Chains A and B, each alone.
Chain A
Amino acid sequence: MRIAPTFNVALRALRRNKLRSVLTALGIIIGVGAVIAMVGIGNGAKAQVEAQIASLGQNVILIFSGSTTSSGIRTGWGGAGTLKIEDAEAIRREVPGVIGVSEEVVSTTQVAAGNQNWFTRIYGESADYFDIRQWPLADGAPFTSQDVRSANKVCVIGRTTATQIYGNENPIGQILRIKEVPFTITGVLTPKGLSTQGVDQDDIVIMPYTSAMKRVIGGSTLRNINVQIGDPQQLEAAQQQIISLLRQRHNIRPGRDDDFTVRNQQEIAQAATATSRVMTLLLGAIAGVSLVVGGIGIMNIMLVSVTERTREIGVRMAVGAHGSDILTQFLIEAVTLSSVGGLIGIVCGIGASKILSAYANWPTLISISSIAIAFLFSAAVGIFFGFYPARKAAALDPIEALRYE
């Protein structure tokens, strides 16, 4: 095969029609650029969701009060008040592999200090909570198990709450009035940012659940229980044990629905990442359509080019070109258009996603594999859409071609 000279011939032909070559490649540039940018956005969103899910803590099982299908009346999670402090203690005592349990009650209320006040969320938790959520303190110290047992008036606050109430002052050791009860602030949490639902996780006050139940919220039931398991292998078994333990404690007969709901962090993660994976696929598919349209553009131009250059093909054949030389020449033209377009498209796509990250504040993540796939796909588009016109050119009869007007 005479690949090297044919390559030269093809490149010269493309150079002879610069504007047309550029416009044809533009279809592929836009297609590949769109695929790279869209998949980058999708992957970025997925990575962000995964990071937020991980911030829920590792190997965590969440038990919510009330069932989603409780005897026909659906109360919503935490609504029925079926979980007791004793249930949490039983889990702590009886389920193997448990390394942390946090009884949780939640409320929202007005908090005040000095002449400042702020409406925020109050979380009552056990001392294990900071380990379960992997949420260290930026400053100060967390409350202790002793504080929980004694229902002491201590709390830690999130960064947002701290800024709103104290501005630039150090809140540690200060008194925060919650429902007219004075609490001493022992620490400030590290900022966690927005949750997957867009809630500011740093707008929070966390105190011993005993203090919350006795002094702020009232009531005797828990909204939910957070359980952390040491070994991920045991997660499934522990979840089953928690279910049977609670059914037994709540005297639920076989065949009846649970009056609580158990979820583990992996299930939540799977649901969330499934959503973002679908989004990535959708974005990629839409962008892929433009790549196919670009390929059809190449085919269109190559067909025009073959017709327009029929005489040239005739001359080449007359002076000794084989059909395969002509086929190769037109294929190289098509693949050069599509792969050069692909390379420029990759650069444009990376540029576009960098701009989106910088100005729209969207996280983007461009993987080597998406670049490689986009490039190979664009080359394949050239071969696929270039083959028919090239074969048409190669099959021309030299006599007819020379006579073509």
Chain B
Amino acid sequence: MNNGPIVRLVDVHKTYRTGEMEVAAVRGISLEIKRGEFVALMGASGSGKSTLMNILGCLDRPTTGHYILDGADVSGLDRDELADIRNRKIGFVFQNFNLLPRTSARENVELPLVYSAQHLTNADLRERADRVLVSVGLAGREDHHPSQLSGGQQQRVAIARALINQPEVLLADEPTGNLDSRTSVEVMAIFQQLNERGITVIMVTHEQDIAAYAKRNVMMRDGVILNDHLVSQRSDAASQLRQEHASALQPTK
């Protein structure tokens, strides 16, 4: 592990070609994210935040510019090399959870280990998956299928899947987009807790109040960074949940 920034983008451009048209989705972004940061990436649709997220997640390569992840330039790697980087260093959380249907929570969580270079026995796989599921508060739900879980629980399975390979970076794309406000706070509480344990979290959102749980907000518009600032009044999801719990116990008059 090196002590430099975990993520460094140097003048990254991404241009899509559709027929005759060239669309510049990202137009010269330079960005540094240090270890242990919690960044909310914001912007309206069409601002290029999804494209940037795909590049950060090694799902896509910049047209020009460099992406240095954990000290190594990954902008020139091929499909399979990028897949290995994703497997080792990045955990994904999606808006629509993207769990495998008719598959138990445990098997969903094990998924990244199937494609990892390390050879684990089935018992090892199981044990590791169960441990991560417990850490996101899903003890006893290991054998449930996604259809038997609430939205919040499904998103926690997805978070457990993202964590199983102990990634450097957790990338979340609108993680609360399909959740009600209370469940959103629960998910934010997990993110903040993980962040305190040292995991770098990068989260795309268009909701101001969700962005307030992050430490730093990056605003995008038209493919460039409009504004990059630290959050002054940060929301604390855990204490909000405690208050809510306490008020629920108050007898109503």
Contacts and interface: CB of A to CB of B under 8 A. Distances in A.
Interface of A: 2, 5-6, 8-9, 12, 16, 311-312, 314-325, 398-399, 402
B83 A321 contact: yes
A2 B100 contact: no
Contacts of A323: 79-80
Nearest to A6: B114
B221 interface: no
Contacts of B94: 402
Given A12-B103, A16-B103, A319 B86 contact: yes
Interface in B10-69: 54, 57, 59-60
A290 B171 CA distance: 50
B87 A319 contact: yes
A315 B115 contact: no
Contacts of A314: 98
Nearest to A308: B101
A189 B224 CA distance: 105
B107 interface: yes
Interface size class for chain B? Answer: 20 to 34
Contacts of B190: none
14 contacts: A2-B114, A2-B115, A5-B114, A16-B101, A315-B99, A319-B86, A319-B87, A320-B84, A320-B115, A321-B114, A322-B115, A323-B79, A399-B59, A402-B94
Contacts of B107: 12
Contact of A315 (B80, B98, B102, B116): B98
A69 B222 CA distance: 98
Given A312-B100, A315-B100, A320 B59 contact: no
B111 interface: yes
Interface string B110-143: 0110111000000000000000000000000000
A318 B114 contact: no
Nearest to A319: B112
> Among the interface residues A8, A16, A321, A323, which one has the most CB atoms of the partner chain B within 10 A?
A321
Given A12-B107, A399-B59, 15 more contacts: A2-B115, A6-B114, A9-B114, A16-B103, A314-B98, A316-B115, A318-B57, A320-B87, A320-B88, A321-B83, A321-B114, A322-B79, A322-B115, A325-B115, A398-B59
Interface of B: 54, 57, 59-60, 79-80, 83-84, 86-88, 92, 94, 98-103, 107, 111-112, 114-116, 161
A402 B80 contact: no
Contacts of A5: 114-115
Nearest to B80: A322
B93 to A, nearest CB: 11
A333 to B, nearest CB: 14
Contacts of A312: 100
Contacts of B83: 317, 320-322
Contact of B112 (A2, A8, A311, A320): A320
A26 to B, nearest CB: 22
B60 to A, nearest CB: 6
A301 B144 CA distance: 27
A121 to B, nearest CB: 73
A2 B119 CA distance: 9
B74 to A, nearest CB: 14
Contact of A321 (B60, B99, B102, B115): B115
A217 B131 CA distance: 102
